[in-house]
Structure 1
Amino acid sequence: MQLADLSRGLDTIWVVLTAAMILLMEGGFALLEAGFVRQKNAVSIIMKVFVDIAFGALVYYTIGFAIMYGKDWAGLLGTSGFMLGGDLSHIRLNITHDTYWLFQSAFVIAVISIVSGAVAERINFRAYIIYTIVMTGFIYPVAGHWVWAAGGWIASLGMIDFAGSAVIHALGGFAALASAIFIGPRIGKFSPDGKVNIVPPSNLPLASVGAFVLWFGWFGFNSGSTLSATNGSIGHIAVTTMLAASAGGAACILFTMFRYKKADPPMVINGSLAGLVGITAGCSFVSDKAAIVIGAVCGILMVLATEMLENRQIDDPVGAFAVHGVSGSIGTLAVGLFARPELAADAGNGYAGLFYGGGWHLLGVQALGLAIVSVWGFAVTWGAMWLINKFVRVRVSRDDELIGLDVGIHGVPAYSQDQDFIDLDRLKKER
């Protein structure tokens, strides 16, 4: 066997395995969100995750991948590669195009899963399917082309976003914020006098397991983005990923103990995830010590962002914006501060962050790219929700929301409790 063939085979195995790790994160999203919402809406969470995977993969295969990585048109979008056909010769990797699509499809499924948590317990299932098609077929691929594709106009400025703090998490987080604002808070979440009413999670152990599954999958998310099994930075990426997640959780434990006089379990769960989100952009380009700082800052600011949303009566049941939008923004900007030139050079980019003699250039590029991607995600999501609502009501009826989406929309509870039958009409009258 030729050395080139062996290298190609190893890279293919690496990319497929890490893609599978990322897809396993959907199980993490399902457990996390099902644990955070009320018991009567657990099945609806699972169904949305199935929509993410089933529709997301098909739409991304049909049009999304082409728009994102097809032959560049004016730096704005791709024009080839629909259904993996046509001219993709400009994508020069040591793996096949279909292997590359598989890895990228796992990313697009993660993006839409971010939004699903922000609209939990009150979105119409049909409307969610339509929005999933829009996100995976247009919103995310266009932003991805700008930042990651050869010829993308933000990429040409030199923006660094190794595994997607901006393209995936900030985009998904700001899309989640737009969705949460558009659809409005859950019934009873806020009192008329502005008081915030706590909606207790149904199963924190379940949510914790979901967080651990996500944490595991993140090693595929970040290390897999090398797209090569022989890349020397894989170990460093895994270390910075681990340290940032740990720092996010530790900082959140200490901060909530100081602020609330007790460690807040949901916040701590999200604190570790915030650290993971924050390190995603610079995991290959920053030092171990910088990863700890980034993770800790993300963990603390996630708590403050959660409080800020509630003070403005914006209902985000799982903290999607605080975890992904805020931490994704911090992580993107952190590259402009902490990027080490010798690490960036390994990826063909010798830019240095502000703290390593690079001046303000990279930080400015990071800020510009972040702002554009975030505004794009928010604005187009708002427009999509508005348009969808003209044809399919985005929010469920009051009766279905009070009964719970599991029974009201899907006709089955998450936990049967040995019931022989469910009388939907009786349940509605009782409510």
Structure 2
Amino acid sequence: MIGRTQMSKTLARGALCAVVAGIGLTGAAHAEVSEETAFVFNTLLFLIGGFLVMLMAAGFAMLEAGFVRTKHTAAICLKNIALYSIAGIMFYLVGYQVMYGGQTPYFGIPELWVPSELAADESIDIGTGYAAASDWFFQMVFVATAASIVSGTIAERVKLGPFFIFVIVLTAVIYPIQGSWEWGGGWLDADFGFSDFAGSTLVHSTGGWAALAGAILLGARSGRFGPDSKPMMPGSLPLATLGTFILWFGWFGFNGASQLALGSAGDAVAISQIFANTNMAAAGGVVTAYLLSMLLGGGKANLAYCLNGALAGLVAITAEPLTPTILQAIAIGAVGAVIATFGAKLLEMVRIDDVVGAIPVHLFAGIWGTMAVPLTNSDATFFGQAVGVGAIGAFVFVTSFVVWMILKVSVGIRLSPDAENVGGDLSELGHDAGSIFASDVGKDSAPAQ
């Protein structure tokens, strides 16, 4: 069972591309590949796309480590490797069947996922079109992205334990339920024709809504706003830049492999177009953010704006990276960068502290990208897109808010003032990011909790 109901839609697009390519290049139809060859190439696409998306976990870790102050660097690295691991385990135990079980229009019934074939089998059913484990792996790596978005927003003041508990709920329940409404063939797909090719809303805005709920309940970092506010400089913008490039690279797997098939020339053409559009949307975001930061900064550019401009462009094109022309992709990415830049200003005005700017990038630009789908894809409607954005936003924000609130009143979610002042590295890990032997460093430095 393939997860995303987009499969039939993208295969139809791929067939159309094949016809066009065949007429334009050779004047004849492309020869069909064998069923086994298609099985191998489809499986390979899932696996390559999966490990590229997995690499994005490293991109998020480096981006966040670069944006936080140095006294929180080791803690943010631990958060990222742990959340990726937790997400995988919970998606295996619960989330995959909730998202793709297909028992109801709203969510599936959890059961332990077992691959439908093994390498030792004498006869592998190639009629499925792909290896079951490759599909599961590709779907699994997406869920950690949503959790990574939350991590960056609430950095420097959230406790590790409660954050990990929230990740368990997000990846096992919240993300899979809303994802089932579209990619699992649920009501948004069936009744409203909602379209989100690779997850501008289902992944990125979902992470943004969960992050917003957490940021509101946590409050801002000490000294971030108010008359006694002080600059909170990023620890390493070169590290954040490296993280951005890693994310940009991984996004080719995120969007490209969401074509879900590589068994025909049409699929190859489609994936090539997706790669080109993904790349150029990010480029449009960078250039636009650079010019806008020059305008807002009195002729001085802002690197952080440019990094988030790239990511906003990538998020915006993710909802529909196939149907736009390259010029349209550049425009979609450019608008995403404008939204992310002014979105960051808006959060500052209302005193919501987002350490890495994840809410403007993933939530705001994600909404824009999703609503822009009908501009280039005639199969989608603005009404259907608005229903999807609204329903998913309401569900994720409310459920996340409730979970964060329960954690806040039960175990507490915020570091103590002393722990926040000394930094998450020493207060929660007992060592800083430069330590080699954690057990020998910082034992006497960490404040009492």
Q: Same fold by TM-score, threshold 0.5 exceeded? A: yes
Residues 1:17 and 2:48 aligned together: yes
1:256 alignment counterpart: 293
Letter paired with 1:382:
F
Give me the whole-angstrom Cα distance separating, in 2, the residues matched to 1:111 and 1:331: 16
Give me the whole-angstrom Cα distance separating, in 1, the residues matched to 2:232 and 2:318: 30
Cα 1:96/1:254, change in 2 over 3 Å: same
Give me the whole-angstrom Cα distance separating, in 2, the residues matched to 1:70 and 1:270: 36
Residues 1:76 and 2:94 aligned together: no
Give me the whole-angstrom Cα distance separating, in 2, the residues matched to 1:6 and 1:129: 42
What is the CA distance between 1:412 and its match in structure 2?
A: 1.0
Instruction: Name which of 183, 193, 212 aligns with 1:177.
Output: 212
1:41 alignment counterpart: 72
What is the CA distance between 1:228 and its match in structure 2?
A: 1.6
Larger mean Cα displacement after TM superposition, 418-427 or 255-264 = 418-427
What is the CA distance between 1:417 and its match in structure 2?
A: 9.9
1:168 alignment counterpart: 203
Give me the whole-angstrom Cα distance separating, in 1, the residues matched to 2:311 and 2:337: 8
Residues 1:379 and 2:398 aligned together: yes
Letter paired with 1:183:
L
Q: Which deviations, in whole Å up to 9, do the C-alpha atoms of 1:155-204 show, x marking residues without a partner?
A: 1111110000010011111111111111110011112x4x7643110100
What is the CA distance between 1:336 and its match in structure 2?
A: 2.1
Residues 1:244 and 2:274 aligned together: no
Q: Which deviations, in whole Å up to 9, do the C-alpha atoms of 1:24-62 show, x marking residues without a partner?
A: 000000000000000010111111112211111000001
3-state SS, counterpart of residue 212 of structure 1: helix
Residues 1:329 and 2:358 aligned together: no
Native 8 Å contact 1:171 1:376 kept in 2: no
1:201 alignment counterpart: 234
Give me the whole-angstrom Cα distance separating, in 2, the residues matched to 1:129 and 1:30: 16
Residues 1:406 and 2:439 aligned together: no
Residues 1:215 and 2:252 aligned together: no
| Structure 1 residue ranges, 4+ long, deviating more than 6 angstroms after superposition | 417-420
Give me the whole-angstrom Cα distance separating, in 2, the residues matched to 1:319 and 1:378: 18
Q: Which deviations, in whole Å up to 9, do the C-alpha atoms of 1:210-249 show, x marking residues without a partner?
A: 0000000000000011122231310110111011000000
3-state SS, counterpart of residue 263 of structure 1: coil
What is the CA distance between 1:422 and its match in structure 2?
A: 4.2
Larger mean Cα displacement after TM superposition, 30-39 or 373-382 = 373-382
Q: Which deviations, in whole Å up to 9, do the C-alpha atoms of 1:280-332 show, x marking residues without a partner?
A: 00101222222111100111111100011011111000001010000100000
Give me the whole-angstrom Cα distance separating, in 1, the residues matched to 2:245 and 2:362: 17
Residues 1:228 and 2:228 aligned together: no
2:29 alignment counterpart: none
2:16 alignment counterpart: none
Give me the whole-angstrom Cα distance separating, in 2, the residues matched to 1:39 and 1:63: 36
Native 8 Å contact 1:172 1:324 kept in 2: yes
Native 8 Å contact 2:426 2:446 kept in 1: no
Give the share of equivalent positions with the same residue, in percent: 35
Native 8 Å contact 2:430 2:446 kept in 1: no
Give me the whole-angstrom Cα distance separating, in 2, the residues matched to 1:81 and 1:119: 32
1:120-199 equivalence runs, <5 A? 120-150=155-185, 152-156=186-190, 157-191=192-226, 193=227, 197-199=230-232
Give me the whole-angstrom Cα distance separating, in 1, the residues matched to 2:315 and 2:114: 30
Native 8 Å contact 2:431 2:442 kept in 1: no
Cα 1:274/1:421, change in 2 over 3 Å: same
Give me the whole-angstrom Cα distance separating, in 2, the residues matched to 1:428 and 1:60: 36
Give me the whole-angstrom Cα distance separating, in 2, the residues matched to 1:293 and 1:281: 14
Instruction: Name which of 133, 144, 163 aligns with 1:109.
Output: 144
What is the CA distance between 1:387 and its match in structure 2?
A: 1.1
Cα 1:368/1:280, change in 2 over 3 Å: same
Larger mean Cα displacement after TM superposition, 230-239 or 323-332 = 230-239
Give me the whole-angstrom Cα distance separating, in 1, the residues matched to 2:432 and 2:326: 46
3-state SS, counterpart of residue 113 of structure 2: helix
1:308 alignment counterpart: 346
3-state SS, counterpart of residue 83 of structure 1: coil
Give me the whole-angstrom Cα distance separating, in 2, the residues matched to 1:420 and 1:108: 32
